[in-house]
Amino acid sequence: MVSSSSSRPLQLAGLFAKAAPAVMSVGLLLVAWELYANYSGIKPTILPAPSRVFEQAMLNREALIDNAIPTIRATLMGFACSLGAAFALSMLVDFFQPLRRALFPVFIVSQTLPLVAIAPLVVLWFGFGLTPKIMLVALVTFFPMLVALVQGYEATEVEIGQMLRAMGAGCWRVFVLARLPSALPYFFAGLRISITYAVVGAIFAEYAGAAKGLGIYMLNAKNNFRPDLVLAAVGVSAALTLILFGLTVLLQRLAMPWERIGRQPAGKGPGR
């Protein structure tokens, strides 16, 4: 890899500059919330101040971590399942175009199913274990991934395909050499979107019934009139989503070095 180590501090500074507005707006929101909760006379059992949420989160950190682990597990396993299925089906659809017309309506319908109604049913059918969570996470993330991949293959430059065929490449070679790499940017765009769906999907499944998990933790806290703990769990799930999102960004940078390096002009002058 030709990673330019000399520009690393500059990159970091740039990252901070980019993150600054977001950090500031979130900070302002927290300050406003804190002031409102403290001075409006609203009861902490209705709206706790962020400082109290944080305090309680620290006091209950063991329970929070304990409940976050099953959620993480369900998210990652469900996501892995949907990725595998989406990849296999995307290839099938790419090689046999008629299948696309037959299958896509089914997939689209699967996306319009209301999660609120489906989650309790899936729990009813498959119990309180890991299976229904994995299924729900897979259900909400599968279609965005499939569409991203199929669109990505289609984005292959026509000329590249023609050239490869003229070189003597068959369907499979064209797929591996051109269509798959062409789909990478689409794949990562889909990944970023569906990873956020995945966490929400897992929590929803737990909300509908689970032994452990952030979803059931939120439900119990709410039933015990502890909005501070509900919000603490929300904070944990938000952090989880952000971390997963960050990981996909990192993964994309590693997997597509040309996107980053390609933007920097070559060291020497153009042409000759």
Closest CA to 64 of 196, 213, 201: 213
Residue type, 216: I
Nearer to another protein by Cβ, of 21 and 269: the residue is 269
Closest CA to 84 of 73, 96, 76, 74: 76
Nearer to another protein by Cβ, of 44 and 257: the residue is 257
Could you give the string, one character per residue 180-209, with x where binding to another protein holds by CB under 8 A and - elsewhere?
Answer: -x--x-------------------------
Calculate ∠ Cα 81-85-90, nearest 5°.
Answer: 150
In the complex, what is the shortest distance from the CB of residue 83 to another protein, in angstroms, rounded to a whole number? 21
Nearer to another protein by Cβ, of 81 and 256: the residue is 256
The residue range among 117-125, 187-195, 227-235, 253-261 that interacts with another protein, by the rule CB under 8 A, is 253-261
The residue range among 119-127, 167-175, 212-220, 244-252 that interacts with another protein, by the rule CB under 8 A, is 167-175
Cα distances from 237 to residues 10, 64, 66, in angstroms, run: 31, 10, 13
Q: According to CB under 8 A, which residues from 120 to 159 bind another protein?
A: 157, 159
163 lies in the site for another protein, by CB under 8 A: yes
Give the binding site for another protein (CB under 8 A).
2, 157, 159-160, 162-169, 173, 177-178, 181, 184, 256-258, 261-266, 268, 270-272
